[in-house]
């Protein structure tokens, strides 16, 4: 005779758990979307605020450089005494003085351009930094989703195990199974509880990481995210587009490009020492010289001075050569960085393709594990399977769901890292 044992509570919970896809309505789901968290992180970023101050400082330096094209006007005065060849003279010189730098080999213009280039470079880096922050927040967001849904799945598995445990206990009391059948579910309960503790720890760690990114107090554990790790539609990545985005938008390459542009301007500034300099100076008032103070109050002198450099001990030549060597070295470093970054991009593109393929396989395995569980539960109710079989079937479903979540997370994280690397948004 075949024994048929029905437990309607167990059946209802099992159907709900098995029929759900590999994501759980985690109880700590809140209203914090990825877009909202990214916006908060950008608004609170100390790094961005520091960069804004640097940009403002460079803009002020650029404005200050225009002052070198204006005349410098001053009033000079002081007592003077001289005794030359028995001729004594004393008096007080007082006069207005105007000095005007007319040309210094283009040095003044270049100094303004250096400040302007640095400000523009930091502005470009700011855009790249915002993209990096968004990508970091996205990566942390997906980790939080995975941790939260893992906790929820394990808690659901714990509830199901409890119902199975009650069923096994009823069968044991009726004399149809041994005590060991009940112990199987006791052991599984202990394992699940241990896994929940570990998953809770991972969730707390991800919450602290997100709190740091958005500038929130880490002691506040009330951060709740919205949404689930859903399966993304299959994405075919265009390597050429991503590589172009990397070369244009990558933060490290932006810094390197700004440095190269600045070094080129610095070399032009040093070469300005080769060119003549033209200055104009005028004085008006009660003038004095090395011998005497002129008693008249309306004296006027005007001087147009041309200075032509002839020899400076190769000082200028050596400085230009040093800057040129530095520029070449930085160029080699940048080329090497580009090669490494493109290699990293290729690895990520390959990872995305592999994860998508594995996710296809895992979703099939998830369905197979559900079918296996359904068949095992049906046979268990008929008395054809025992508790170890049910435990094994339940574990396979949970493991398949967790693996499915892991691959969804890994796919989303890989895409966030590609966006961080290239500045190209991948939805």
263-304 pLDDT, tens digit each? 999 898 888 888 888 888 888 877 776 566 666 667 888 888
User: What distance in Å separates the CA atoms of residue 378 and residue 11, rounded to the nearest whole number?
Assistant: 10
Q: Specify the CATH number for the domain of residue 138.
A: 1.20.1600.10
Could you tell me which residue, 340 or 94, shows the higher pLDDT?
340
What pLDDT does residue 397 have?
Answer: 92
Domain assignment present for 1? no
What pLDDT does residue 26 have?
Answer: 52
Task: Give the distance from CA 335 to its chain's centroid.
Answer: 22
Domain assignment present for 222? yes
* Segment among 14-23, 64-73, 118-127, 257-266 with least mean pLDDT: 14-23
What pLDDT does residue 7 have?
Answer: 45
Domain assignment present for 427? no
Residue 16 confidence (pLDDT) above 60: no
Query: Which of 220-234, 297-311, 318-332 ranks highest by mean pLDDT?
Result: 318-332
User: What distance in Å separates the CA atoms of residue 144 and residue 18, rounded to the nearest whole number?
Assistant: 23
Q: pLDDT of 204-217, one tens digit each?
A: 898 899 999 998 87
When pLDDT is averaged across residues 419-427 and rounded to a whole number, the result is 87
Domain assignment present for 182? yes
Residue 116 confidence (pLDDT) above 60: yes
Residue 255 confidence (pLDDT) above 50: yes
Could you tell me which residue, 84 or 72, shows the higher pLDDT?
72
Domain extent, residue 234, equals: 8-422
Contact yes or no for 146/409 (Cβ under 8 A): yes
Domain assignment present for 62? yes
What pLDDT does residue 166 have?
Answer: 83
Contact yes or no for 93/80 (Cβ under 8 A): yes
What is the bridge-based pairing of β-strands 299-307 and 87-104? Answer: unpaired
Q: pLDDT of 20-36, one tens digit each?
A: 544 444 555 678 889 99
Give the chain's domain count.
1
Domain assignment present for 24? yes
When pLDDT is averaged across residues 386-414 and rounded to a whole number, the result is 90
Confirm whether pTM is higher than 0.85. Answer: no
User: What distance in Å separates the CA atoms of residue 144 and residue 149, rounded to the nearest whole number?
Assistant: 8
Record the tokens describing residue 276, joined without a space: 């003549």
Burial of 9 (C-beta count, 10 Å sphere; 0-12/13-18/19+): exposed
Domain assignment present for 325? yes
Could you tell me which residue, 385 or 412, shows the higher pLDDT?
412
Domain assignment present for 83? yes
Q: pLDDT of 122-151, one tens digit each?
A: 999 999 999 999 999 999 999 999 999 999
Percent of the chain scored above 90 by pLDDT? 36
């Amino acid at each position: 005779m075949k024994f048929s044992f029905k437990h309607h509570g167990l059946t209802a919970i099992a159907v709900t758990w098995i029929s759900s896809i590999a994501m759980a309505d985690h109880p700590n789901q809140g209203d914090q979307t990825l877009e909202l968290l990214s916006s908060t992180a950008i608004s609170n970023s100390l790094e961005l605020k520091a960069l804004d101050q640097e940009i403002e400082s460079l803009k002020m330096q650029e404005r200050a450089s225009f002052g070198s094209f204006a005349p410098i006007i001053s009033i000079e005065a002081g007592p003077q005494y001289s005794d030359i060849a028995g001729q004594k003279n004393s008096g007080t010189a007082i006069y207005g003085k105007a000095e005007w730098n007319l040309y210094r080999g283009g040095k003044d213009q270049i100094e303004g351009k250096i400040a302007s280039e640095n400000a523009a470079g930091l502005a470009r880096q700011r855009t790249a930094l915002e993209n990096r922050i968004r990508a970091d927040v996205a990566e942390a967001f997906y980790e939080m989703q995975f941790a939260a849904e893992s906790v929820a799945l394990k808690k659901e598995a714990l509830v199901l195990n409890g119902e199975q445990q009650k069923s096994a206990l009823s069968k044991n009391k009726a004399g149809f199974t041994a005590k060991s059948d009940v112990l199987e579910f006791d052991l599984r309960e202990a394992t699940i509880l241990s896994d929940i503790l570990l998953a809770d720890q991972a969730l707390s760690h991800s919450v602290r990481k997100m709190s740091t990114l958005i500038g929130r107090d880490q002691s506040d554990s009330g951060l709740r995210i919205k949404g689930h790790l859903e399966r993304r539609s299959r994405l075919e990545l265009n390597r050429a587009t991503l590589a172009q985005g990397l070369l244009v938008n990558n933060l490290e390459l932006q810094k390197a490009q700004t440095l190269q542009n600045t070094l080129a301007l610095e070399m032009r500034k040093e070469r300005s020492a080769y060119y003549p300099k033209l200055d104009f100076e005028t004085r008006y008032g009660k003038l004095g010289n090395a011998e005497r103070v002129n008693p008249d109050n309306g004296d006027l002198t005007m001087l147009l001075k041309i200075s032509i450099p002839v020899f400076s001990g190769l000082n200028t030549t050596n400085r230009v050569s040093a800057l040129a060597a530095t520029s070449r070295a930085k160029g080699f470093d940048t080329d090497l960085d580009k090669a490494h970054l493109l290699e990293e991009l290729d690895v990520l593109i390959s990872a995305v393709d592999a994860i998508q393929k594995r996710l296809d396989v895992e979703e099939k395995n998830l369905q197979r594990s559900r079918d296996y569980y359904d068949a095992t539960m049906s046979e268990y109710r008929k008395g054809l399977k025992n508790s170890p079989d049910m435990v094994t079937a339940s574990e396979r479903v949970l493991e398949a769901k967790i693996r499915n979540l892991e691959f969804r997370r890994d796919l989303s994280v890989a895409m966030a890292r590609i966006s961080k690397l290239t500045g190209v948004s991948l939805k």
